[in-house]
Amino acid sequence: MNRSMNWKILILSLLFALPIYALADSQWVLEQSTLTYHVSHPLHQTDGVSHAARGKGVCHAGQCDFLIAAPVKSFDSGDSNRDLHMLQVTRGAQFPMVSVRARLPETASASAAIHVDLEIQFAGQTVQYKQVLLQLATQGNQIRISGTIPATLSDFKIDPPSLLAVPVKNEIPVRLDMTWRPQ
């Protein structure tokens, strides 16, 4: 092989590897987010939504560490009485923030489905979720991360609130949809 052919192969190899290493040795900031919890009761379904999360990510030495936090009171279900009751049930005055820590492999493709271990602090409890499926997608120089955390009330030692003496279901899946940009 001649020398110019070697350079062309090297450049093409680097271009194809770029999405895989897009996160390498970098810092990221949460540009926008939507966090949604879902509560199910035999009489109705409720979603509480927050757009108030803030976050940072740092990628170095083979891994990316992300921290996302949102005020518990920022979740809005469309019913102020229900939101106030949610704050009481989750001990939001005593523990005003919910935080999520995630560790992703630095070699994760920038457009892929990956399994991630998460640590969530909420309502005075810290819970580990293993192998949560998240979707990563590149949008220009931004990375979009989305997925659902299979949270339950019992994970966080929260007694299920009741309506007409019937408690809500234990499952409270939390949907993440976040856009990150390089800092």
Q: What is the pLDDT of residue 106?
A: 64
Query: What pTM does this model have?
Result: 0.81
Please state whether beta strands 174-182 and 54-60 pair in parallel, antiparallel, or not at all (unpaired). Answer: unpaired
Q: What is the pLDDT of residue 24?
A: 58
Q: Are 152 and 145 in contact (CB under 8 A)?
A: no
Q: What is the pLDDT of residue 90?
A: 94
More confident residue, 20 or 50: 50
Q: What is the pLDDT of residue 79?
A: 93
Provide DSSP, 11-71: HHHHHHHTTTTTTTTEEEEEEEEEEEEEEEETTEEEEEEE---EEEEEEETTEEEEEEEEE
More confident residue, 15 or 131: 131
Q: With CA atoms as reference, report the closest residue to 31 among 183, 135, 181, 176.
A: 181
Convert the pLDDT of each residue in 86-116 to its tens digit: 999 999 999 999 999 998 876 665 568 889 9
Domains and CATH numbers, the chain: 21-182 (2.40.128.110)
> Position of tokens 């005003």?
96
More confident residue, 17 or 135: 135
The residues with which 41 forms a beta bridge, in sequence order, are: 44
Query: Binning pLDDT at 50, 70 and 90, where does residue 162 land?
Result: confident
Give the Cα separation of 39 and 146 in Å (integer). Answer: 19
Convert the pLDDT of each residue in 23-74 to its tens digit: 457 899 999 999 999 999 988 899 999 999 999 999 888 888 999 999 999 9
Q: What is the pLDDT of residue 131?
A: 93
Question: Residue 9 has what DSSP assignment?
Answer: H
Give the Cα separation of 58 and 42 in Å (integer). Answer: 43
pLDDT at 12 exceeding the cut of 80: no
Convert the pLDDT of each residue in 114-153 to its tens digit: 899 999 999 999 999 999 999 989 888 898 999 999 999 9
Q: With CA atoms as reference, report the closest residue to 70 among 46, 38, 37.
A: 37
